[in-house]
Amino acid sequence: MLLGFVGLGAVVETAYLPALRSLFGDSLRCVGFDVQPTKQPAGVTRCTSLEELFTQPLDTLFITTASLHHLEVLEQALASPITRIVVEKPIVATLSQIEKLKMLLAQPGAADRVLALDHWMARIEMVKRGVVSTFCRDCENRRFFAGAKWI
């Protein structure tokens, strides 16, 4: 399983990586890119550019940048061959970005490649179980993580 991350901040290190390691164990490999060269979570091979990241044979791409950059990264990801893209919500940060998002997702097959996920909800323990369960079912139904052993 090769997963890619755009944005290598604290939420990747403290939330995503521990959960994904728990799900996939030794089969998990991660690559990532961040505009800040000092961001380097353990276990993530750093790419020198977004373009380099998008040339990797990724099973899934996670867009974990600041909200203002979600849409521009999503647009580039949709122009790549990556078939599964998970974007933290909100996907758009401004009202003016909504129209652009609608146009992007109206392209044939684009909406089927994108899943939006709100990591803040997962911080509330009672909601966490429901979110993880729903997320796993959705991923399984859409084959986001083929072959994963779900909790």
Model confidence pLDDT, tens digit, residues 62-84: 999 998 899 999 999 999 999 99
Between CA 123 and CA 80 the distance in angstroms is: 32
CA 87 to chain CA centroid, Å, is 5
Model confidence pLDDT, tens digit, residues 84-140: 999 988 888 888 888 999 999 999 999 999 988 765 544 444 344 444 555 555 555
Tell me: pLDDT of 53 over 90: yes
CATH class of 2-120: alpha beta
| Token pair in block for residue 134 | 């729903």
Between CA 134 and CA 45 the distance in angstroms is: 29
Q: What percent of the chain is predicted at pLDDT more than 90?
A: 63
φ, ψ (nearest 5 deg) of residue 27: -80, -10
Q: With a threshold of 0.85, does the pTM exceed it?
A: no
Q: Of 109, 44, 49, 119, whose CA–CA distance to 82 is shortest? A: 109
pLDDT of residue 133: 53
pLDDT of residue 134: 54
pLDDT of residue 117: 75
Residue extents of the structural domains in the chain = 2-120
Confirm if 58 and 3 have CB atoms less than 8 A apart: yes
